[in-house]
Amino acid sequence: MTTIPVVSIALMGVLLVALGANVTRHRAIRGDTGNQMPTDPADRMLIAIRAHGNAAEYVPTLCVLILICGTVSDGWWVDAMALAAVFVRLSHAVGMLTTKSMASHGPLRDVGALGTYATGVALAVTAFVVAVA
């Protein structure tokens, strides 16, 4: 395995931890008397919670798929997909954190979501094809 998949996994790990720290920051700002479980789509804490939650849902799967593909193949394809995964997850996080409301979509959020699906499927297909070949 080249260093690109390893660095990509590390960067996605940093992103996930940073998003979690952002939720903690919002909780600290609210204090004990603030609403810790907001439902308003424009609430900054809800947006932070969902940005972290979404990353927590997809980053581990992408990391495992990158590890599997990097172990069974040393092709450029794995490096490209690992870099793409970092780019789309970062795009999604920035798109989420900069939106005015969870009720709206923006180009970064949409590119991040669609890119996550595309890279996930591409990595899964790669792992499957290499495993049965």
Domains of the chain: 3-132 (1.20.120.550)
Q: For 75-133, how does the pLDDT look when each residue is reduced to its tens digit (9 = 90+)?
A: 899 999 999 999 999 999 999 999 999 999 899 999 999 999 999 999 999 999 988 87
Comparing C-alpha atoms, which of 73, 45, 79, 54 is closest to residue 133? 73
CA 25 from chain center: how many Å?
19
Distance CA 45, CA 39 (A): 9
Neighbours of 20 (CB within 10 A): 17
Instruction: In the chain, count H helices and then E strands.
Output: 4, 0
Q: For 31-62, how does the pLDDT look when each residue is reduced to its tens digit (9 = 90+)?
A: 877 788 889 999 999 999 999 999 999 999 99
